[in-house]
Structure 1
Amino acid sequence: MSTDTGSQTAAGVPTDPAGRVDQDTLTRAQKALLALSDDVARQLAEDNGVCVRPMAMRRIDMSTGRVDVVPVPCKSTQEDKCRPCAEKARRERMVQAREGWHLEHEPFEKPATPNEHQKRLLAMRSDLHAAYTCARTDGLDYECEEIREIVAELDAEIRAAGVRGRLAPLDPAPKLVKRSTRRRQDAPDLPRRPVENRTLGEVFGGKYRPSTFLTLTLDTYGRVDKHGAALDPDTYDYRRAARDAIHFPRLLDRFWQNTRRCVGWEVQYFGTVEPQKRGAPHFHAAIRGAIPRAELRAIAAATYHQVFWPAHDEITHSGDQLPRWDDRHKGFVDPTTREPLPTFDEATDPDVLTEPTHVVTFGAQVHVKGILGGTEEAGRHVGYLTKYLTKSITQAAGLTDDAPARLRAHHRRLTAELAITPCSPRCGIWLLYGIQPKGALPSTKPGQCKSKAHRPEHLGIAGRRVLVSRKWSNKSLGDHRAERAEFVRQLLDRAGVTPSYPVDDGPFAWERTAPGDTDVPPRQVLLLHAINQRQRWRADYDAALIAAPDPTDNRSATESEAA
């Protein structure tokens, strides 16, 4: 006769026949193999799509005065910090890309006609603008300050009245530096057509309106191996690679300007900037409408961006000989001669700087592919566009824990060059080259800049990683979230499902909590509350789907609404 003596857990810890663990009988080594409560809660949160590191916010009901401390998602976009929030952000971008790619109708409407109230407010502003000009001419500083305060309040009222766009500044704009717009002799010419007021591409065969998937890369800086590391680091042009990475956003702007002028209509795009294994940024874009491959390749070959910045090839100040702030000159001076350093504007004067210090161009690799809307291929490319949005830049470039030592050394050389490459006219690194940056203050530290472009984990990609044209879908991410929330509310109403959680209509006021507040529960308690709320939301949603099935239901589009 045999008896059941129990079994073991996956970690080798013995259990009784019911699968329970008697911790009193375990050794210290066996207890160390048991799962931690925090890990169990975190894994449960990930399984339910709940933020794993919620923030505590104090919610104040303005109608009843009730105060609750509620968990709020962290909204991180990196999966190594919070996988549920990062995945939710990626799905929102997928919806945004899909909705604007293959439109059949123009997504925008004509602006509203100005009403009498808006015109009256702008007339008042014109009177104040004239009064400010006279007061400034007469040197009445006190009156100028009063007019500024009145205009600031009036501008807020104008915005509230439904007026958008830039309002004329009171003070005259600084004089712009004008340079020749003549194309470089080494750049091919492009045809220029009048730009039509449309964003849709042409229809072929009476029923097909294809769109385009485009990939742009930068030029080569030297041969690399299969991992992206330089085969010969001594000849690899790290300086040009660093400068190209910093000026890559301006190059993309030039490309879209040239594209619209060349094809003759307002080309719209949804694009993502990602690093290649070698560390250089490249660009994937979904373009609405079909553009010939040869034409896009010609536009990429003819696109360039000239950088008219002071020369920054050789460092002139380092170590103990860094420039110092001088109160008498109200700026930085040379530590040896005590002479003021030339300002950025003086060093870039057109009479002094006649040739660009750097020119950014695209590489020869330009990938163009036509895509039909509603096909499986279109869905795959939307997924490819957003594939790396949940990863950091270094992770997307393959710089993981198991990366080859050669690749790590390659990235160290690149980040070392980025650390001494100015990123903007206000960058503190200009002081290393004997140039006083714009807006320099006594707090400016020579050779230091807080921009993300100089951080090793960004590889020079300091701007946004998702670039969306203004007329892509005429919706922001907030609009997409509101649509999903409204979809769920209508589904619950149609199915007659009453939410098991209280529905608060507000209005609410939100307040940050501070460390040490006695009414703030521990993070694990916040996490458990968020999990409980998500499970109740999911139960109500599933019940509504069963009670009122809708053939048009897109579960993927509402999957992340409850977060």
Structure 2
Amino acid sequence: MKSSMFEPEVVQELALKEGVCVRPLLNRVTDRQTGDTTVVVMPCRSTRESRCPSCANAARRLRIQQCAEGWHLDQEPTGPEQEPEAATDELEEEEDVVDEEEVPERRVRSTRRRSDVADLPLKPTENRTIGAVFEGNLGRRYRPSMFVTLTLPSYGSIATGRGVPIDPSSYDYRTAALDALHFTKLLDRWIQNLRRCAGFKVQYFGAIEAQRRLAAHFHVALRGAIPRSILRKVTRATYAQVWWPSCDEPVYVDRVPVWDGVDYLDPDTSIPLTTWEDAMAELDEDPHAKPAHTLSFGRQVDIKGLLGGTPDADRSVRYLTKYLTKAVAETYTQAEVFDAEYEAHIDRLHDEVRYLPCTPSCANWLRFGIQPKQAGPGLQPGRCSSAAHDRENLGVGGRRVQVSRGWSGKTLSDHRADRAAVVKKVLEEAGYTAPDADRMSAETLATDGEPRYLWQTVHLPPQKASEAIITSVLERRRWRNEYDRAKAAQVSTGPPVENHSATDGEVEREE
């Protein structure tokens, strides 16, 4: 093979064409039993197309499968409840989350609803997660589900089709930033309210995306039919309050509090800043205290009823997951076209997001004269480690995908294993040896009871890394050729099968 083939640009183009990871993780695996050493190439599994299109597309296909498999069930899922998985890259799977207000580490506030919002139409809850069956003409029975889109309110007039404020000076960037940072709290509250009003244990698969104006919105698939009037009432009646100390006026802008080993001190007076615990206690004791921020949905609510197995349902699954491979700020930008006004809009929103607190332990509390919860050395306003503050995320640093525990009865790892099992079965039935993903697992034990294989990260020079990518490409081609031949043999010898699905035509490209 000519050396020109190992040029990084050529190798990356080849990897993208074959659906191979462009920034693989290299590991040296030593077999303690035999002494043999092997370099194993593993995909990075990034969910961002700007970092690795191949892995991002594989992650999206997996989400498509997960969404489609749990949406239109006609029987209760029987698998174990899903547990929140460890975060991998930016795209995470989160489950039903209890709001911070409900954590019993401090005084519980009154649950009385605000007087300026609509009452919730409460309904007794049936012990089911699947939707009701309806009977139509000629005795036809069907079980519809819902597809809903929720948006945030307006922060100022936007130029049509461009996503930039007509008057940036009057656009409410601060509220937009706070809404983005706490959007998931509002979604959690909406799901809780919906379950109280729908009459059954509603299950959901939703994705947070960005509108062109950069405000977050939520596409969600709901299993079962819910009256549109109920959905609209619940949306109007849902709000979330953030009971934190005030972060309206920054105290330290040009100065930075100093860490003395125990507390953060005022840089001029050396007086310790108020601790998080004291600030919250003061808030609890104030009978006239108001939440630091209150957020609610905008007026626009899009609601559709869909039947499983229809083209509209398949299209909705793909639409729901369309932008999961892009960061919030990347959603509507194009590498080949630079829009100065749009970039300035992103910068102004990022300036707000960067310095507002995201959690009780956020370093930005120092900017407002409060020591963060569990404060330690090295904290500096504007440098919180949370991805929510990054320019690419604009307040939405995680939880882009939200899935209820009872959606499909499977974890994301289970769905990934299902895809691999389909490929393995087809190959083995055709007489091919399927690749064993666990052949060098760290869980495999040697005769002494210790792990047989020792894994060590390897950092190779660009030339060697390119060779490793090409090796992965050749291996992928071999697997695909074997799989294609195995499928052809299965079609020619087996009975007719129905293979239409939301992931049709994609499984052969899975890692």
Secondary structure at 2:370 match in 1: coil
The answer as to 2:142 corresponding to 1:208 is yes
Other-structure match for 1:559: 508
User: Which amino acid is the alignment partner of residue 49 of structure 2?
Assistant: E
SS at match of 1:522: helix
After superposition, what is the alpha-carbon deviation per residue over 1:433-484, rounded to whole angstroms, capped at 9, x for unaligned?
Answer: 1111111112222443111121111111112211111111011221122122
* 1:372 pairs with 2:304: no
1:184 maps to 114
* Number of corresponding residues: 463
CA drift at 1:497 = 3.4
Q: Give the alignment's Cα RMSD to 1 decimal.
A: 2.5
- The superposition leaves residues 484-538 of structure 1 with CA deviations (integer Å, 9 ceiling, x where unpaired) of 2222222223223356x89984546351234379xx9801111121111111111
Q: Cα 1:275–1:502, aligned 2, differ >3 Å: closer, same or farther?
A: closer
Report the equivalent of 2:193.
258
Task: Please tell me the residue identity of whatever aligns with 1:426.
Answer: S
Q: Does 1:326 align with 2:296?
A: no
TM-superposed CA distance for 1:404, in Å, is 2.8
Instruction: Report SS of the residue matched to 1:559.
Output: helix
* 1:335-362 residue CA offsets vs partner (Å, 9 max, x unmatched): 3333222122222221136221210100
Alignment partner, residue 269 of structure 2: 337
Higher Cα radius of gyration: 1
Whole-Å Cα distance in 1 between the matches of residues 332 and 276 of structure 2? 34
Question: Equivalent residues in 2 for 1:12-91 (5 A)?
Answer: 37-61=7-31, 64-91=34-61
Q: Matched residue of 1:188: which SS? A: coil
Identity of aligned residues (%): 46
1:461 matched to 2:431: no
Q: CA deviation at 1:246?
A: 0.4
Bigger mean CA deviation after superposition, 204-213 or 348-357: 348-357
Task: Give the match's secondary structure for 2:485.
Answer: helix
Query: Which residue pairs with 2:278 in the alignment?
Result: 346
Q: Is the contact between residue 72 and residue 145 of structure 2 (CA under 8 Å) also seen in structure 1?
A: yes
Matched, 1:316 2:251: yes
Question: Contact 2:276 / 2:360 at 8 angstroms: preserved in 1?
Answer: yes
1:194 aligns with 2:129: no
Amino acid at match of 1:224: I
Q: 1:156-175 residue pairs with structure 2 within 5 A?
A: 175=105
Q: CA deviation at 1:401?
A: 5.2
| Distance (whole Å) between structure 2 residues aligned to residue 80 and residue 447 of structure 1 | 25
Query: Structure 2 unaligned runs (5+)?
Result: 82-102, 445-451
- 2:96 counterpart residue number: none
Highest relative contact order (Cα 8 Å, sep 6+), 1 or 2?
A: 2
Structure 1 unmatched ranges of 5 or more: 1-33, 112-172
User: Any conservation in 2 of the 1:323–1:446 contact (CA below 8 Å)?
Assistant: no
Cα distance change of structure 1 residues 264 and 391 upon mapping to structure 2, 3 Å threshold: same
Residue 222 of structure 1 aligns with which residue? Answer: 156
- CA-CA distance at 1:553 after TM superposition: 4.8
Aligned pair in 2 of structure 1 residues 377, 332: CA closer, same or farther (>3 Å)? same
SS of the residue corresponding to residue 234 of structure 1 reads helix
| Candidates 466, 473, 478, aligned match of 1:536 | 478
Partners of 2:56 and 2:460 lie apart in 1 by 29
Taking structure 1 as reference, are residues 175 and 38 closer, same or farther at Cα in structure 2, changes over 3 Å only?
Answer: closer
Q: Is 1:471 equivalent to 2:406 in the alignment?
A: yes
CA distance, structure 2, for counterparts of residue 462 and residue 498 of structure 1: 41
Residue in 2 that maps onto 1:524: 466
Q: Is the 8 A contact 2:26 2:458 kept in 1?
A: no
Take 1:41 and 1:337, find their aligned partners in 2: how far apart are those partners?
59
Q: Which amino acid counterpart does residue 556 of structure 1 have in structure 2?
A: G
Instruction: Tell me how far apart the structure 2 counterparts of residues 504 and 345 of structure 1 sit (CA, whole Å).
Output: 47
Map of 2:207 onto structure 1: 272
Pick closer, same or farther for the CA change 1:504–1:239 going to 2, 3 Å.
closer
Match of 1:440 in 2: 375
Letter in 2 for 1:75: R
C-alpha contact 1:249 1:463 (8 A) present in aligned 2: no
Instruction: Give, in whole Å, the separation in 2 of the partners of 1:472 and 1:55.
Output: 32
Q: Answer yes or no: is 1:486 the counterpart of 2:421.
A: yes
| 1:295 match | 230
One-letter code aligned to 2:39 = V
Residue 278 of structure 1 contacts residue 397 of structure 1 at CA under 8 Å; is this kept in 2? Answer: no
Partners of 2:80 and 2:410 within 8 A in 1: no
Question: Residue type matched to 1:312 in 2?
Answer: C
* Secondary structure of 2:169's aligned partner: coil
CA 267–62 in structure 1, closer or farther in 2 if over 3 Å, else same:
farther
Instruction: Supply the AA of the counterpart residue of 2:505.
Output: S
**Distance across 2 between alignment mates of 1:331 and 1:290:** 54
Q: CA separation of 1:95/1:303 partners in 2, compared to 1, >3 Å: closer, same or farther?
A: same
Aligned residue in 1 for 2:339 = 404
Q: Do the aligned residues in 2 keep the contact of 1:95 with 1:557 (CA within 8 Å)?
A: no
The offset of 1:368, in angstroms, is: 0.4
Mean alpha-carbon deviation: is it higher for 405-414 or for 53-62?
53-62
Looking at structure 2, the residues matched to 496 and 366 of structure 1 have their Cα atoms a distance apart, in angstroms, of 53
Contact 2:121-2:230 within 8 A present in 1 as well: no
TM-score, structure 2 length as denominator?
0.85
Give the corresponding residue for 2:64: 94
Q: Which residue of 1 aligns with 2:291?
A: 356
Query: In 2 relative to 1, CA 181–495 (structure 1 residues): closer, same or farther, beyond 3 Å?
Result: same
Choose from 149, 153, 175 the match for 1:240: 175
Distance across 2 between alignment mates of 1:245 and 1:389: 17
